[in-house]
Amino acid sequence: MSIEQREARQPWILLTPALTAVTLLLIVPLIFIVVYSFWLKSAVGADTPGFYLDNWQEALTDPFYRDILLNTLKISAITTLACALLGYPAAYFIARSKGNKMVLLVLLMLPFWISYIIRTMSWINILGVSGALNAALIWAGIINEPIQMLYNETTVILGLVHFLLPFMVLNIFVSLDGIDTNLEDAASSLGATRWQGFLQVTLPLSLPGLAAGGLLCFVLSAGTYITPVILGGPRDAMFANLVYEAIIRQLDWPLGSALSLLLLMVLGVLVLIYNRYLGMAQLAKGLG
Amino acid sequence: MGWRLIRIYTILVYLFMFLPIAVVVLLSFNANQFGSFPMTGLSTRWFEALWNNDAIMRAFRTSIVLGLMTAVISTVLGVLASLALVRYKIPGRNLITTLLIAPILVPEVVLAVALLLFLNFLNFGKSFTLLLAGHVIFTLPFVILVVQARLVSIKRDVEEAAMSLGASPMQTFFAITLPLLMPAVAAGGLFAFTISFDDITGTLFWKPGGIETVPTQIFSMLRNSISPEINALGTVMIVLTVGLPLIGAAIARTLATRSGQ
């Protein structure tokens, strides 16, 4: 074998283990559940292979599933919006501060390293019946009896925002940090106020970062399982909870497959739209 | 004026991020027997209770073993793939990159269901192996992204110099590339460990009955009520998850400056 041929083979040898892992543990399993979603659950024994549309019909037409899907998308949208509103000014402050940017950024990234479940349950310490807020309100004499502030849609959104905000800030920061500050100076030297300069120069240039952060927040909250269980009430189930119910509790794997794929398709459409207009490179920037 | 407003807003955002975490740490030292407010004094009794709780200690060992194995496998796969992607001109690069990053783009629940059902079909039921396979596939994209970002900054010249001085490709890799790569390897491994240690959604689908990781153990304890032990466990995990990467970053920096000389 010539040296050139050897050179040409080397990268494929290096890539083989990772590509094999992704193919066997993700791609083939995804194709497998597409097939599985057309099978039928049997009351006893193995599920019946075949081509039945029953699971898809149930997943797409049952109002119970539809309502939870819409509610999941609504919660994700509100979470994303809240992250953008909270995260943009903070990212702007970090990107434009004269002090040590990196320290500020690392500080905001710290919670990202802290266990997700600990951060989620930490809100019980704040908002629970014997939590900090109730204790403070009683101490201040504003209320006599503790109020239950937990276990509703608002606390689910609160938990999600607390979990996802660092992703948003990081992505906006990456975008803002790449903008030449001379552009804002140029705008103001041409007579624009600071606010006009921001609206017409900085904001449009930072939109890719905002979009990347938004996509991450939306996709991650739409697939969340833990937050609604810990911080939500019985009626705040999100779509991933349905999938868990079907797969783990009811052992209805064909239906669970169809529900998983439905979630994948809805979020996949969003990712495709994003990829069409902005490309995946922006997303990799924020993650790397 | 506008700037000051942004500053106050940013401080509030930071408070929002850190206050709940601070309260966890504060309550873990609470002497009050219900572990709630009002605090009656400071004590380390919950840490002692934690140390004596067999279920939690077992979960800790499981999580550490799982995290270490995940980190080793993911880092090896990730470093090899990143080398190929950064160092060689290969056809279909974008497609390969997208494929390797795909596990992040697929919602974790969907990934969990697909892997569980497929491996079950192949007669690998819920087991430690399934858990490990899941954690590897879930952490691999993060390792690749981190390692790739670092690899780009290592210049090819040094390796070419070694080769032109007669070193074989293998010698060059172990004497030149690998030492330069160590910070990236360490960062990738640490990232994989932390993500694996923290993972809960996939783990709940994959874990066999009787095996608990730290997050699933906390999750099952939360079903009853929030006990002060959980706050103590939270404090330990905060120290571990914040402390470990900081130490890791420090080591990486020392290695980087030393190899830079």
- The A residues from 138 to 177 touching B (CB cutoff 8 Å) are 139, 162, 165-166
Q: What residue type is assigned to position A41 of the chain?
A: K
Q: Minimum mean pLDDT among A54-63, A243-252, B165-174: which range? A: B165-174
Q: How big is the A-B interface in CB pairs under 8 Å?
A: 245
Give the HSE-up count for residue B17: Cα atoms under 13 Å, Cβ half-sphere. Answer: 27
Query: Within 10 Å of residue B175's Cβ, how many Cβ atoms?
Result: 12
Which pLDDT value is given to residue B205?
A: 95
Instruction: Please tell me the total count of domains within chain A.
Output: 1
Nearest CA-CA distance, residue B66 and chain A, Å:
16
Q: What are residue B115's phi and psi, to 5 degrees?
A: -65, -45
- According to DSSP, the residues that pair with A48 across neighbouring strands are A40
Q: What is the pLDDT of residue B209?
A: 87
**Chain B: nearest CA to A94, how far in angstroms?**
9
Residue A189 and residue A220 in contact, taking contact as beta carbons nearer than 8 Å: no
In a domain, A145, yes or no: yes
Contact assessment for residue B130 and residue B206, using Cβ atoms and an 8 Å cutoff:
yes
What are A79-101's pLDDT values in tens digits?
Answer: 999 999 999 999 999 998 877 88
Which phi and psi angles does B127 have, rounded to 5°?
A: -160, 175
pLDDT value, residue A246: 94
Q: Which residue of A has its CA nearest to B225?
A: A124
Instruction: State residue B261's pLDDT score.
Output: 45
Structure tokens at B154: 């290592």
Taking contacts as CB-CB distances below 8 angstroms, the residues of chain B near A130 are 34, 36-37
The one-letter code for the residue type at A100 is N
The reply to whether residue B204 touches residue A248, judged by beta carbons under 8 angstroms, is yes
pLDDT for the residue A234: 86
**CB spacing of A125 vs B20 below 8 angstroms:** yes
Rounded mean pLDDT, A160-168: 94
DSSP letters for B159-185: HHHHHHTT--HHHHIIIIIHHHHHHHH
> What pLDDT band is residue A169 in, cutting at 50, 70 and 90?
very high
Pairwise CA distance, residues A174 & A206, whole Å: 9
**What does the pLDDT look like over A136-148, one tens digit per residue?**
899 898 998 888 8
10 Å Cβ neighbour count for B92?
A: 9
Q: Is the pLDDT of residue B1 over 80?
A: no
Q: Least CB-CB distance to B6: which of A93, A243, A271?
A: A93
Position A148 in a domain = yes
Domain ranges in chain B are 1-43, 55-260
Within a 13 Å sphere around the CA of A249, how many CA atoms are in the beta-carbon half?
6
Residues of A in contact with B104 (CB under 8 A): 287
Give residues 211 to 230 of A whose Cβ lies within 8 Å of B: 219, 222-226, 229-230
Is residue B28 within 8 Å of residue B232, measured between CB atoms?
yes
Q: Is A117 within 8 Å of B108 when comparing Cβ atoms?
A: no
Does the residue A6 lie in any domain? no
Domain containing A271: what range?
61-287
Whether the Cβ atoms of residue B215 and residue A116 lie closer than 8 Å to each other = yes
* CATH value at residue A244: 1.10.3720.10
Supply the mean pLDDT for chain A: 89
A165 pLDDT higher than 60: yes
Task: Check A111 against B230: CB less than 8 A apart.
Answer: no
Nearest chain B residue to A259 by CA: give it. B110
Does any CB of chain B come closer than 8 Å to the CB of residue A263?
yes
Is A284's pLDDT higher than 70?
no
Q: Is residue A2 part of a domain?
A: no
Contacts of B201 in chain A (CB under 8 A): 223-226, 240
Q: Which residues in A lie closer than 8 A to residue B193 (C-beta atoms)?
A: none
Reduce the secondary structure of chain A to three states and give it as a string. CCHHHHHHHHHHHHHHHHHHHHHHHHHHHHHHHHHHCCCECCCCCCCECCCCCHHHHHHHHCHHHHHHHHHHHHHHHHHHHHHHHHHHHHHHHHHHCCCCHHHHHHHHHHHHHCCHHHHHHHHHHHHCCCCHHHHHHHHCCCCCCCCCCCCCHHHHHHHHHHHHHHHHHHHHHHHHHCCCHHHHHHHHHCCCCHHHHHHHHHHHHHHHHHHHHHHHHHHHHHCCCHHHHHHCCCCCCCHHHHHHHHHHHCCCHHHHHHHHHHHHHHHHHHHHHHHHHCCCHHHHHHHC
Q: CA-to-CA distance for A74 and A239, rounded, in angstroms?
A: 11
- Report whether B196 contacts B135 (CB < 8 A): yes
* Window A:78-107, CB contacts with B under 8 Å: 86-87, 89-90, 92-94, 107
* Position with higher pLDDT, A3 vs A221: A221
Instruction: Determine which of A183-192, A256-265, B67-76, B221-230 has the lowest per-residue pLDDT on average.
Output: B221-230
More confident site: A250 or A286: A250
A22 located within any domain: no
Which long-range contacts (C-beta less than 8 Å, at least 24 apart) are formed by B254-260?
B255/B182, B255/B183, B255/B186, B256/B183, B259/B179, B259/B180, B259/B182
At CB < 8 A and 24+ separation, what contacts does B60-63 make?
B60/B214, B62/B211, B62/B212, B62/B213, B62/B214, B63/B196, B63/B197, B63/B213, B63/B214, B63/B215
> In this complex, do A93 and B99 lie within 8 Å of one another by their Cβ atoms?
no
Domain spanning B55-260: which CATH class is it, in words? Answer: mainly alpha
Tell me what pLDDT residue A288 has: 47
> Considering only CA atoms, which of B216, B53, B190, B191 is closest in space to residue B131?
B216
pTM: 0.89
Q: Calculate how close chain A gets to B149, using CA atoms only, in Å.
A: 6
Q: What is the mean pLDDT of residues B62-88?
A: 94
Q: Which residues of B touch A22 (CB under 8 A)?
A: 99-100, 102-103, 137, 140
| Percent of chain A with pLDDT strictly greater than 70 | 95
Q: Average model confidence (pLDDT) for chain B?
A: 86
Q: What is the pLDDT of residues B2-43, one digit of tens each?
A: 788 999 999 999 999 999 999 998 888 887 766 666 677 788
C-alpha–C-alpha distance, residues B41 and B31, integer Å: 5
pLDDT at A206 over 70: yes
Q: Which two tokens stand for residue B99?
A: 């494929």
Judged by CB atoms closer than 8 Å, whether chains meet at B106 and A271 is answered as no
**What does the pLDDT look like over B103-130, one tens digit per residue?**
988 999 999 999 999 999 998 888 999 9
